Amino acid sequence: MGEAIDAGVGAGNTTATEQPSNRKVPLAALVALVIGSMIGGGIFSLPHQMAGAAAPGPLIIGWIVTGLGMLMLAFVFQRLAVTKPEIDAGIYGYARAGFGDLVGFSSAWGYWMSAWIGNVGYLVLLMASLGVFLPGFGNGNTAQAIIIASLVLWLFHVLILRGIREAAVVNALVTIGKILPLIVFIVIGILSFKLDLFTADFWGTGDSSLGGVLHQVKSMMLVTVWVFIGVEGASVFSERARSRTDVGRATIIGFVSVLALLLAVNILSYGIVARPELAGLSDPSLAGVLEAAVGPWGAKFIALGLIISLVGALLSWFLMCAEIIRVPAIEGLMPRVFGKENAKEVPAAALWLTMLLVQLFLVWTYFNASTYTALILLASSLILLPYLLSALYQVRVALQGGSGISAIDMVVGVLGTLYGLWLLYAAGLVYLLYTSVFYLVGLPFFLKARSEQQARPLLKPLEWALVAVLVAMAGYTVYGLSQGTLSLE
């Protein structure tokens, strides 16, 4: 290849341009992409975030719910990769195939917004981690930190422009480096674990601020969603995989590996530091836990591991940011400029748009003192609808039946849908109202793509109805913000 894709792009296309087999991403790199995108900063901040939301008992219940729910979503992506191999870009393609152009576009748009806002959070946390070794970085949003974060941002830009497959291979190497510190922590955690500390106030009845068991389980949901975001990573790159079977395998292998690490890190932390103290640790809180177990060197060891982890996670997510809007552009639902590829088969315009927005938000964090936690909660809420739409499409595929469809497909789809609805409930109305503003901002891009396709009318009747709902929700949100009645605090 090597030529830009700007001709023959139509709304009726269902697959993107084929690539030579030697440019395809192998299974090992797909697995690393899933693990690399799921293991970023979340696992290193997990102890204090979870301790502030739940005692050990509700924590275990929450992990069971989350583990089973996310497993169903992982199976959704695994099954659809096998039964619907003609659909590219997973989380976008499934929403479009099941519910139409505007819904498909909105799924891609929400996923993309979630990805790059999450990367802003990662860059802030990366700078805070450097502050363990260097002065002047504060919580990651000082002037010095923003300047260094900006340099890191554009270094990633240059690397990815050199090629998707090459960047994926680099990511695979970095993923190995980020897992090693976590394994060391788990070994030390097992040796330092105190059962009496873990079982003290097991249900959180001694702390009225935690609330009841259901409230505690609900409070930890958005955090657990964040640490699992990326389970769909292989499906996003389905077109570039050597086979669709590899996509399914990478999804399940990546999910099981990360779930084991998350459970071990989170539960062991409660047995090393008392929950109230754990909740008061600053990010990366895993550093404080290891310091309590082995002394000051533990904090620096975890901070170094976090830096490696964040570098890998940023690379994974920048890759997916560009990919998730490239395919809609090729299929006529985003302006066609975002579907054009450079000589290295990288969607350069999509990458430029992503990087520029991340840069603007980095500057914004300097003036607004945004924290890592606030950014990841917003990013998590933006991805809830795309997850739910994928599960609903799995139900639709199971109802339609056909070759390769079995009863297990219906079970996976229904359970994945129930979990998606639970996540919307756990997120709460305020976060959903905020996301409506972000979804509405994408509408001009959709209309521009429709005009390029000379589509008439620009919006169909049902699409007008969806737009009306978004406008009403966004209007209420803006009014609430102006009156001080709505806040994420």
Structural domain boundaries enclosing 398: 27-147+163-309+371-428
Residues 194-223: what's their mean pLDDT?
89
User: Would you state the pLDDT for residue 222?
Assistant: 67
User: Would you state the pLDDT for residue 199?
Assistant: 94
Closest CA to 328 of 417, 448, 440, 416: 448
What is the rounded distance in angstroms from the CA atom of residue 349 to the CA atom of residue 325?
A: 10
Q: Are the C-beta atoms of 248 and 79 separated by less than 8 Å?
A: yes
Greater pLDDT, 143 or 28: 143
For residue 407, tell me if it sits in a domain. yes
Which span out of 4-13, 340-349, 351-360 was modeled with the highest average pLDDT? 351-360
pLDDT tens-digit series, residues 333-348: 999 999 988 888 888 9
For residue 158, tell me if it sits in a domain. no
User: Would you state the pLDDT for residue 23?
Assistant: 57
For residue 451, tell me if it sits in a domain. no
For residue 169, tell me if it sits in a domain. yes
SS3 state of residue 448: helix
Instruction: Give Rg (Cα) of the chain.
Output: 22
For residue 318, tell me if it sits in a domain. no
For residue 225, tell me if it sits in a domain. yes
Q: What are the helix (H) ranges across 284-347?
A: 285-294, 296-330
For residue 273, tell me if it sits in a domain. yes
What is the rounded distance in angstroms from the CA atom of residue 5 to the CA atom of residue 9?
A: 8
Tell whether the model's pLDDT for residue 439 goes beyond 90.
yes
Tell whether the model's pLDDT for residue 19 goes beyond 80.
no
Contacts of 468 (CB under 8 A, 6+ apart): none
Residues facing residue 241 across a β-bridge:
25
Residue type at 85 in one-letter notation: P
For residue 335, tell me if it sits in a domain. no
- Judged on CB neighbours under 10 Å (0-12, 13-18, 19+), 198 is middle
CATH number at residue 46: 1.20.1740.10
Whole-prediction pTM: 0.81
Q: How many domains does the chain have?
A: 1
CA 460 to chain centre: 31
Q: Copy the structure tokens of residue 457.
A: 């009318």
pLDDT tens-digit series, residues 234-275: 677 677 778 878 888 888 888 889 899 999 999 999 999 999
Q: Are the C-beta atoms of 303 and 328 separated by less than 8 Å?
A: no
Residues 446-453: what's their mean pLDDT?
94
Tell whether the model's pLDDT for residue 484 goes beyond 50.
yes
Q: Copy the structure tokens of residue 157.
A: 């830009």
Which span out of 1-5, 63-67, 71-75, 463-467 was modeled with the highest average pLDDT? 463-467
pLDDT tens-digit series, residues 367-419: 876 666 667 777 888 888 999 999 999 999 999 988 778 899 999 999 999 99
What is the rounded distance in angstroms from the CA atom of residue 127 to the CA atom of residue 307?
A: 9
